Structure formats: structure tokens, C-alpha cells
Amino acid sequence: MPTSSFTETMAAALGLDAQDVIPYGRDRAKVSHLVLKKKPQHGKLILVSALTPTPAGEGKTTVSIGLAQGLKAEGKSVCLALREPSMGPVFGRKGGASGGGRSSITPGVSINLNFNGDFAAITAANNLLAAVIDNALFHGTTRLDQNKVTWKRVMDMNDRCLRQIVVGVNHNGVTREDGFNITPASEIMACFCLAEDVEDLRHRIDNIVVGFTQNDEAVYAREFGVTDALLAILQEAIDPNLVQSLEGVPAFVHGGPFANIAHGCNSVIATKMALTCADYAVTEAGFAFDLGAEKFLDIKCRQSGLAPDAMVIVATIRALKMHGGLGKEQLDTPCPAAVRAGLPNLAAHLDSARLFNRPVTVAINLFEGLDAEEEIAVVREFCAAQGVGCAVANVFGGGGEGARELARTVLASMEGATVPPFRCLYELDLPVEERMRTIARRIYGAADVVLTPKASRRLALMEKNGLTGLPVCMAKTQNSLSDNAKLLGRPTGFTITVRDFEIANGAGFLVALCGDIMRMPALPKVPAACDIRVDAEGNISGMKG
């Protein structure tokens, strides 16, 4: 097979055989997941997280890319391991996820739009299983109760009207209530991202619970005989995608569950590939430390044997001012007092990070020309008092050069550090309620967790079927440490309400639905899709970064 200059360059940079790098055009490729069976992992893993998101922006992906470029500028061998963007946020409110300014991965537009077909494959695999389930109900060849089907269809688009639907009308099937989740919330996505290889993925798909019998016995995906068909759809998708940053740092971009409704991390295969191909691997977990990082540590690391060697928490002066009580329209005016008032939110995430006994650095993502020196000084003084490293990173405007202080600070945090064996936040022999209370109290700062009657009934159903010996994936708003999106800063005395559970038995975790969180997001009043333009030459513009 002929190789492009991109694949030749990347294969050489990563120490891979040319046949392991599969061209997918002039500027991207896939790397065979079988590389992991041939080459040992040797790199150190750096996990990037952030404080609680605000409309002011934090730029976690941009900082991750910038940090990797800063490490390269310091002469280090480095790879990125990032999630693939979903088209839901791209066309909705948030925009794309390929970085920004001089700290971007390329080709950004393609990465943001159904990159290499992975999400389409996951969607098709999910929906094939849904179609086969309904076909079995129609023909009466399954023990599944049509009123107790839990497997939903998915699509990679925000569409509130599909949250609750009726299928099988007009005598074309068994009429029943159904609904759609967004593709990043699919259990196929979670299985895909947590699988070590094809056989592990097969085992996970087999063990997916798709519903229950009339007597409340669990029904598994393996009973429908299509696991191999799903694997056939996912055959190419399981190989990580390879692109690069603007400064030539190799980037494995693979998988994309959201952290507010799923486990929020890129694939285990991609992370291990980065650790195999470089001395340092930079990865991120979705949203803030309370969501993505906690799940990275308690779900992904628990299952895969991975553990970070260092962690970075991204903060911006603007976000701290919003947590300190300012409105978005007030952020351009320097206000050290508002920065200081917002620091408790950063402190909460630092306290959470300390629970995992890894060195932590605070990265101030600089908004050049807007962040005042006296505001930055407030954060530096706070970090010094907390005993954690702090660095200003001009990653948007300066790229790798702008991230060298951050790179040196992160490297210094690992030098001579005695890192104890990695331990998760809780043990699986605790009751489910105690696992959730541990997360809620120690990570969110909640007073307690309460279950609605519906959640209690669902938990009892799972306990009856022996499905509860798994880590818990808390699905809650990303906009607050609580389950109330309006509570900014560091709220106290609140209660987390679990309104329902979903079982992700194949993926290996329970999903606790908290507050009003939805697994199918909605579009805003004016979707970002309205700003996208395509010219006569096919050039795409207007996409949010």
C-alpha cells in the first residue's frame, strides 16, 4: 500500500513500522491497535483537567495541546491522546474541540466533523443492536419484555424531540415507547473507549444489558447473536486516529464520551499508544476535575491499569471572576477582588486532586491583553500558599513557546517525587449508595446523596441481577460542583439527588442520573450551525473553536 509523506513522517517520528500507519488522506492516518502487542509502554502520563466550566471558557484542550508543544520545545519526546469531538456541540452551543490559535491540532475542521467515520461506526453498531432487538420482539424470538427494553437508539446530534418517541406504529413492529441518546452517551462508545483490544470489545458487547424479562431477569446483547456483526462495523474504528498539532506533535484522537453523562475520556488504546510512542503522553478528561478527572481515575484507571504521573488543573482569570460573582459583561475590567472571590472553586478541585496522591500544577490559560498582572498575582500567591506549582501559559497566542514555563513546572513536579501506588477513591465492596456518597462528599463537597423512589427501584432491580459490583459514573451538570447548574463557586450543604440509574454492564460501570441531566442534549435558541458557511471552493468557516 502506498504511503503519504504524512504517514512516512509520523511513522518515523513515532518509531513505528510503515505498515502500522494506515493513510486516511494527506493529513491523517490510523495506527493499528496491534502495535500495543509489539511495543512496550514506557512514557509518563500527564492528565489535564480544569476548574468548573463557565461561559467565559477554560480552554482545557488548547492547554493540553500547548503543553505538549511546550514539552517538545523543551526537547522532550511527547504525544497527545485526545477525544474526538461530537457534532452535537459543534452545531449546538459549545463548538469544536481541536484546540485554538497556535495550540491546535490539524485538520481542525475535519476532526470536528465526523472524523474518519468513527462516530458513524459507533452509531451504526448501536442502532443495529436496537433494530435486531425490535426485530426479535416482532417475531417473538426473545425473552425480553417489550415494556422493559433499556437499549436506546443514538445519533450524533442534539435533538430534544427524540428523547421520548414511539416506535413500531402502523403495524410495522411492536409498538412501544423508546428514545434516543446522543452517540457519546452510547454504551457502545464506552465499551469502545475502555476496551484493550478486539477480544475485550467482544466481551464487553456480549455483556451489555439491553433490558429485562417480565420477571425482571437481565437480558444481554449476546442473546441476539450479532456481536460479530457489531465488531465488523467497528473493525476500522478501533484503530486510533493519528494527526498532529500545528507544531508537529503527534496526536492520537480517538473516542469521545462526554464527562457529564458518561466517563469522559479518550480510548484506553489511544492513551496506551501515546505512552508506547513517546516519553511523555498528555491527555485530558472532559469538563472539570469533579467530572472527567474523577471518572478517568476511578473508572478508566481502575479498569486499564493506567495511572497519571502528574496532573494539571487549568484555570482562567475570567472564569475565576465569574465564580467570584461577576457577569460575563464585566470580565474585561481588571478586578483582583473577584479573582480572589472565585478561588474557592479552584481550591475545591485542588483538594480533590490531592486525594489521588499525584503532583498537581495549576495552569493559568492566559487571555493575552485582558488578564491583568495584579489578577495573575492573586492566583500565583494562592497556589504558593497551597503548595502547588503554578504557571502562566500563553498557549493560544504563543503555542509551544508560550507553554514552556508550564512544561518546565510540570516536569519539575515529577522530578524526585515519591509517588505512592495508585489508589482509587473508593473500593467496590462498598454498597452503591456509599460509593456515591464518597464521590459526592469528597469530590463535590455535598452533604449527602438521596435517591428518588424510581432510582431506588432501579437499584434494587440491578442488585437482584448481580449488576452492582461496578464503579459509579455520576451523570450531573458540568456547570456546578452540585447538581444545580446555577450554584457557582464552591457551594456547601447541598444534597445530590439521584433520580434514576442506567446500567452500563458491558462498559463496566453504573450510571447515576443526577438532577435534570439529559443523555440527549438540546440545541440553544440560535444554534452554532447557523454561523457555519461553505464557499464555492468548499472551504468551511464560522465554526466555533
For residue 125, the one-letter residue type is A
Q: Are residues 281 and 372 in the same domain?
A: yes
Residue 407 is placed in which grid cell? 512544561
Q: Is there a domain that residue 424 lies in? A: no
Q: Are residues 332 and 447 in the same domain?
A: no
What's the average model confidence in pLDDT over 17-23?
91
C-alpha span between 283 and 272 (Å, rounded): 11
Q: Is there a domain that residue 522 lies in? A: no
Is the per-residue pLDDT at 243 higher than 70? yes
Q: Is there a domain that residue 14 lies in? A: no
Q: Are residues 203 and 247 in the same domain?
A: no
Q: Are residues 285 and 352 in the same domain?
A: yes
Q: Is there a domain that residue 2 lies in? A: no
% of the chain surpassing 90 pLDDT: 88
Out of 372-386, 417-431, 440-454, pick the least confident.
417-431
- Residue 225's CATH number: 3.30.1510.10
pLDDT tens-digit map of 254-268: 999 999 999 999 999
Domain boundary among 233, 259, 279: 233
Q: Are residues 267 and 401 in the same domain?
A: yes
Q: Are residues 126 and 112 in the same domain?
A: no
Q: Are residues 200 and 100 in the same domain?
A: no
Q: Are residues 261 and 379 in the same domain?
A: yes
Q: Are residues 134 and 225 in the same domain?
A: yes
Domain boundary among 211, 233, 255: 233
Q: Is there a domain that residue 396 lies in? A: yes
What's the average model confidence in pLDDT over 72-92?
95
> Structure pTM?
0.96
- Residue 266's CATH number: 3.40.50.300
Q: Is there a domain that residue 7 lies in? A: no
Looking at residue 545, what is its pLDDT? 67
Q: Are residues 256 and 386 in the same domain?
A: yes
C-alpha span between 496 and 494 (Å, rounded): 7
> Which range marks the domain in which residue 349 is found?
21-117+239-414
Residues 6+ apart with CB under 8 A from 200: none
Is the per-residue pLDDT at 543 higher than 90? no
Number of domains observed in the structure of the chain: 3
Domain boundary among 173, 206, 233: 233
Q: Is there a domain that residue 265 lies in? A: yes
Q: Are residues 333 and 206 in the same domain?
A: no
Residues 6+ apart with CB under 8 A from 38: none
Residue 74 is placed in which grid cell? 523543551
Q: Are residues 164 and 223 in the same domain?
A: yes
What's the average model confidence in pLDDT over 285-311?
97
- Contact between residue 267 and residue 35 where contact means Cβ atoms under 8 Å apart: no
pLDDT tens-digit map of 148-187: 999 999 999 999 999 999 998 877 778 999 999 999 999 9
Is the per-residue pLDDT at 3 higher than 60? no
- Residue 445's CATH number: 3.10.410.10
Q: Is there a domain that residue 169 lies in? A: yes
For residue 46, give Cα distances in angstroms to 43, 69, 83, 324, 359.
10, 13, 15, 29, 10
Looking at residue 157, what is its pLDDT? 95
